[in-house]
Amino acid sequence: PKFGEFGGQYVPEALHTCLAELEKGFESAVADPEFWKEFKDLYSYIGRPSSLHRAERLTEYAGGAQIWLKREDLNHTGSHKINNALAQVLIAKRLGKKKIIAETGAGQHGVATATACAKFGLECTVFMGAEDVRRQALNVFRMRILGAKVVAVTNGTQTLRDATSEAFRFWVSNLESTHYVVGSAIGPHPYPTLVRTFQSVIGQETKEQFKTLNGGKLPNAVVACVGGGSNSTGMFSPFEHDTEVKMLGVEAGGDGLDTDRHSATLTAGIPGVFHGVKTYVLQDSDGQVHDTHSVSAGLDYPGVGPELAFWKSTGRADFVAATDAQALIGFKLLSQLEGIIPALESSHAIYGGVELAKTMPKDQHIVINVSGRGDKDVQSVAEVLPKL
Ligand SMILES: CC/C=C(/N=C/c1c(COP(=O)(O)O)cnc(C)c1O)C(=O)O
């Protein structure tokens, strides 16, 4: 359960039994061909494989490497979150759980979990910061229409960090009946491994599709935005041992790394324990976790997954930060050069990918993961678009 010095289970005694039960449930599921058949039978429901295609005008704009897009935004519910939510609900059913809880920031994970619960007939409660209930209202409507209960969390900054803490607090006193579908590659073991495993369908498909389209070659780089680390570890992990393939994670630089209003945990944080796991945290030297900011609710989080912390420590992956303003440029570029309106989270990867492509020769290739669609964000962006 360790990623070098990172990972582990830093949780109260009360959670040990259910985490051990979940680990056994996860291991028995991945070892069971029947589970994989059940998961693969859902591919037509999700819309897998998601497409991989060139971005001609974005490539021309960048003027360097060929840019390819992995279209996780085209999945059912509009992001990569559905991959992990469905897999975890299948496991919850195998564990005999009747109730599901989840945390959400952008609302994509909340919608994905509510969707999985509607499909498999489980009760669903989603914890969401009150600030995110406001700025991702479209997804709150969707969660409720799908039959989920949305609990607005008013502690702290009323964003993803607070929703996650509240979900853990609720889970501790409902362990018997309830499975907590954690939405990112964070939290105590086995969650980072479990979530990465089910999101790695992204990188596996990308590898196969790219090789088929390019005579067996691998891309020179793969790029993904980083919130908790699920779409990035999902895209990166199948390439982990292809060391010639560069991995670039793009974090939320908010108002700038020279301010205290950002969420660039790997770029500007330090090793620490947060939400039950040893990883990188935006905290000061005496462990006070910072308040964070990002224009994108899904990246607005002071922690990150331990596997990314490990790849940072070994140098296997590089991490940069894109500010709110740069993410909005990415949002506009993909919309107006490729006709694809991306989620604000994914917009960070677009900006970082374009900047990377500019530094690479035209005969090289990069794949950017478009982790989600931007419907949830169009209202907040429309207000600032004229100034872009
Ligand atoms: C689980 C909390 C994070 C959420 N979303 C995060 C997110 C992210 C960042 O999450 P990770 O992939 O887990 O780093 C990227 N792209 C989209 C479209 C997202 O919605 C959510 O609540 O939907």
| Percent of residues, the chain, with pLDDT higher than 90 | 98
Chain-centroid distance, C-alpha 62: 25
Q: Residues 11-33: what's their mean pLDDT?
A: 97
Mean pLDDT computed over every residue of the chain: 97
How remote is the CA of residue 107 from the centroid of ligand 1, in Å?
8
> Which residue, judged by its Cα, is nearest atom 19 of ligand 1?
298
Of 73, 76, 80, best ligand 1 pocket probe by most atoms within 8 Å of the beta carbon:
80
Using DSSP's 3-state secondary structure scheme, residue 263 falls into strand
Average pLDDT of the segment spanning 318-323: 98
Range list of H helices, 41-185? 43-46, 56-62, 81-94, 108-120, 130-135, 137-145, 160-172
Candidate list 81, 97, 207, 246, residue with the active-site label: 81
Q: Using CA positions, which residue lies closest to atom 6 of ligand 1?
A: 298
pLDDT in tens, 348-376: 999 999 999 999 999 999 999 999 999 99
Interatomic CA distance for residues 347 and 106, integer angstroms: 13
Our answer to whether residue 81 is catalytic in this structure is: yes
pLDDT band at residue 237, thresholds of 50, 70 and 90? very high
Say what the pLDDT of residue 383 is: 86
Structural tokens at position 41: 């039978």
Give the model confidence (pLDDT) of 258-277 as tens digits.
Answer: 999 999 999 999 999 999 99
Residue nearest to atom 23 of ligand 1 (CA): 108
Q: Any residues with CB less than 8 A from the CB of 300 and at least 6 apart, and which?
A: 105, 159, 160, 161, 227, 252, 263, 292, 293, 294
Which two structure tokens, joined as six digits, stand for 152?
């607005």
Instruction: Determine the longest span between alpha carbons in the chain, in angstroms.
Output: 56
Residue 72 alpha carbon, nearest atom of ligand 1? 18
Catalytic annotation, pick one of 23, 72, 103, 166: 103
CB-side exposure of 364: number of CA atoms within 13 Å? 18
Position 384 scores a pLDDT of 87
Q: Please check the confidence at residue 193 and state whether its pLDDT lies above 70.
A: yes
The 10s digit of each residue's pLDDT in 37-73 is 999 999 999 999 999 999 999 999 999 999 999 999 9
Confidence of residue 1 (pLDDT cuts 50, 70, 90): low
Helix, strand or coil, per DSSP, at residue 100: strand
Residue with the smallest CA separation from ligand 1 atom 4 is 298
Q: How far is the CA of 191 from the centre of ligand 1 (A)?
A: 15
Let me know: does 291 contact 313? Beta carbons within 8 Å: no
Residue of 232, 294, 296, 371 marked active site: 371
Please tell me whether the overall predicted TM-score, pTM, comes out greater than 0.90 for this model: yes
ipTM of the complex model: 0.99
pLDDT of residue 11: 97
pLDDT at 287 over 70: yes
Q: Report CA(230)–ligand 1 centroid distance (Å).
A: 8
C-alpha triplet 385, 290, 344: angle, nearest 5°: 25
* Helix/strand/coil for 249: strand
